[in-house]
Chain A
Amino acid sequence: MRSGDALLDHLFRRAGFGASAADLQAVAGMSYNAAVDYFVDFDKQPDDVDTRIGLPDSVAITTRGQFSPNTNIEDARQRWLFRMVHTKRPLQEKMALFWHNHFGVGYNKVAGTVGGVLGTKMMATKGGELPGPQGHYELLRQGALGKFRDLLIEVAKDPAMLVFLDGRTNTKAKPQENFGREVMELFTWGLGHYTESDVYAAARVFSGWNLRNVPGAIANDPAAYQDFIYNAAQHDTTAKTFTFQINGGSNTIPARAMASGMQDGIDLLTSLANHPDTARRLAGKLWNYFVSDLDAPDPAFVDGVTNVYIQSDTAMRPVLRYILNSRWFTNPGNFNARYSWPAEFVIRTIKEIGWAGFSVDTARVPLTNMGQTLFEPPDVSGWDLGRTWFGTGAMLARMNFAAAIASNQKFNLARSFSATERAQPDRVLNGMLQRLTPAPYTTGEMNELLTYLTTGGAWTGNDAQMNAKAPGLARLVAGSGEYQFV
Chain B
Amino acid sequence: MAKVSRREFIQDGVAAFTLSFAAPAFLTDIARAQGVVSRNLVVIYLAGGNDALSTLVPYTDPFYASRRPAIAVPAGTVLQIGSDSSGKPLGLHPRLTGLQTIFNQGRLAIVQRAGYQNSSRSHFQGTDIWGTGDPANPAGLGWLGRYLGSIPTTDPLAGWNTSGTTNRALMGLNVSVPSITDPRTYSFSSPNIGAEAINERNTAIRLASSAGPNRPHLAFVNTSAMDAFATLDRVASVVDYQPSAPYPNNGFGSALKTVAASMVRGIGTRVYWVQTGGFDTHSGQGNAGAGAYANLMGTVGDGILAFYNDLQNQGLLGNTLMLQFSEFGRRISENGSQGTDHGAAGVMMALGGPVRGGIYGTAANLNPTPDNPTLENAGGDVKYETDFRSVYASVLDGWLGTSSTAILGGNFREGAPAII
Contact = CB atoms under 8 A, between A and B. Distances in A.
Contacts of A196: 121, 377
Interface in A147-201: 165-166, 169-171, 173-178, 181, 185-186, 191, 196, 199
Contacts of A395: 221, 224-225, 227-228
Interface in B319-378: 334-337, 339, 341-342, 377
B207 A481 contact: yes
Given A391-B161, A394-B164, A399-B204, A472 B282 contact: no
Contacts of A394: 164, 179, 224
B191 A181 contact: no
B404 to A, nearest CB: 26
A485 interface: yes
A455 interface: yes
A177 B335 contact: yes
A384 B122 contact: no
A23 B284 CA distance: 48
B228 A176 contact: no
B214 to A, nearest CB: 10
Contact of A396 (B122, B188, B335, B336): B188
Given A392-B231, A472-B199, A484-B221, A166 B283 contact: yes
A371 B164 contact: yes
Contacts of B335: 169, 174-177
Interface in B162-208: 164-166, 176-182, 185-192, 195-196, 199-200, 203-204, 206-208
B218 A392 contact: no
Nearest to B124: A381
A456 B196 contact: yes
A449 B231 CA distance: 24
Interface stretch (A85-93, A217-225, A400-408, A419-427): A400-408
A174 B337 contact: yes
In terms of DSSP, what is the predominant structure of the interface of chain B?
loop
Contacts of A393: 164, 178-181, 185-186, 228
A335 to B, nearest CB: 13
Interface residues of A, number: 69
B7 interface: no
B374 to A, nearest CB: 18
B236 to A, nearest CB: 12
A18 B358 CA distance: 58
A17 B220 CA distance: 23
A260 interface: no
A166 B165 CA distance: 25
B217 A456 contact: no
A439 interface: yes
Interface in A224-261: none
A171 to B, nearest CB: 5
A392 B221 contact: no
A387 B125 CA distance: 19
A403 B179 contact: no
A472 B221 CA distance: 20
B190 A481 contact: no
Size band of the interface chain B makes with A: 35 or more
Interface string B261-305: 000000000000000000010111000000000000000000000
Contacts of B161: 391
A391 B336 contact: no
B420 to A, nearest CB: 30
B122 A392 contact: no
B248 interface: no
A175 B282 CA distance: 11
Contact of B200 (A165, A410, A476, A484): A476
A445 B336 contact: no
A120 to B, nearest CB: 20
B314 to A, nearest CB: 25
A448 interface: yes
A337 B166 CA distance: 21
Contact of A384 (B165, B204, B208): B165
A173 B280 CA distance: 21
A356 interface: no
Contacts of B203: 448-449, 451-452, 476
Nearest to A169: B337
B123 interface: yes
A451 B165 CA distance: 36
Nearest to A452: B203
A410 B208 contact: no
Contact of B210 (A165, A178, A339, A445): A445
B156 interface: yes
Interface in A435-483: 439, 442, 444-445, 448-449, 451-452, 455-456, 468, 471-472, 474-476, 479-482
The 3 closest A-B pairs by CB, nearest first: A174-B336, A391-B179, A392-B178
5 contacts: A169-B283, A191-B122, A199-B121, A448-B207, A476-B204
